[in-house]
Amino acid sequence: MNQSAYAISAAPAGILSTRPAAQARSVAAGELFKLRVADLHKRYGDNEVLKGVSLDARSGDVISLIGTSGSGKSTMLRCINFLEQPDQGSISLDGQTIRIQHSRAGVRSADQAQLQSLRTRLAMVFQNFNLWSHLSVLDNITLAPRQVLGVPAREAEERARAYLDKVGLPARVAGQYPAFLSGGQQQRVAIARALAMEPEIILFDEPTSALDPELVGEVLKVIQTLAEEGRTMIMVTHEMGFARQVSSQVLFLHQGRVEEQGGAEILDQPRSERLQQFLSNRLK
């Protein structure tokens, strides 16, 4: 394993970081990160989508990944829980690095039990909901807790109904099928499904981009509530105002690299020319 996975240092050369000095001192003191992603690379043939991206998250952090389409945001998110196989780099959860092996197809988990454990601790909410169309809302939410975590059926159902209430959906929705719900309702079901696994980190891949504009607010309200509860979340988003409101960190990706990173203030005071241009285009 590359020992850089364990190194604690300033932002790599070429990345503009606005991390506060107090935070830097905490890192230097060796504070344990909830999640560390170091030097992640991903290629599709000759196209290198990720070119050495890194991310550090503490418990309770809300990290927004922003950038133009094709900058590598969603690929980075999918590599974190090995939905995509990275070609290089390391991923650590609570200080435990995921053991990997190199193959012709790239980097793979060398320990399937460890990978399964990782996936039970990370939940993902997808852009297009990814609900099972042939299952009711209740069954969509209870399936993984029962089959993966071994939660008894009654407890899984109680948990599902509690999380449906949490995301603002009425009890009657539990018996309905996804096709009969609005996009906003389906995404809230997807969030309830993620919460039902009681994950330590939630990954959101553009959770509002497939929604009609009038439905975006209801989903953002749920995510904001989760942020206020102190949940650790990593979110790919194009909602700049929302990112400014909830983020403890913002990473701006450009052509597969972290071009600039820092607190939410970088959205108001960007230092790099590319981030300035990106934000200017978002306002047009």
The token duo for 238 is 């194009």
Domain-by-domain residue ranges, the chain? 3-283
Compute the radius of gyration of the chain from its Cα atoms: 19
Angle at 237 between CA 223 and CA 207, to 5 degrees: 55
pLDDT at residue number 117: 84
CB 225 within 8 A of CB 202: no
- Give every strand in the sheet of 96-97, ordered side by side: 47-57, 35-44, 88-93, 96-97
d(CA 132, CA 134): 6
Q: What percent of the chain has pLDDT over 90?
A: 74
Digit-coded pLDDT (tens) for 38-57: 999 999 999 999 999 999 99
Q: What is the pLDDT of residues 56-100, one digit of tens each?
A: 999 999 999 999 999 999 999 999 988 988 888 889 999 888 877
Is the Cβ–Cβ distance between 208 and 220 less than 8 Å?
Answer: yes
pLDDT in tens, 152-201: 999 999 999 999 999 999 999 999 999 999 999 999 999 999 999 999 99
Look up the CATH architecture of domain 3-283.
3-Layer(aba) Sandwich (3.40)
Question: What pTM does this model have?
Answer: 0.85
Q: Which residue has the higher pLDDT, 19 or 73?
A: 73
Residue 15 in this model has a pLDDT that exceeds 80: no
- Which residues have a Cβ under 8 Å from the Cβ of 112 and sit 6 or more positions away? none
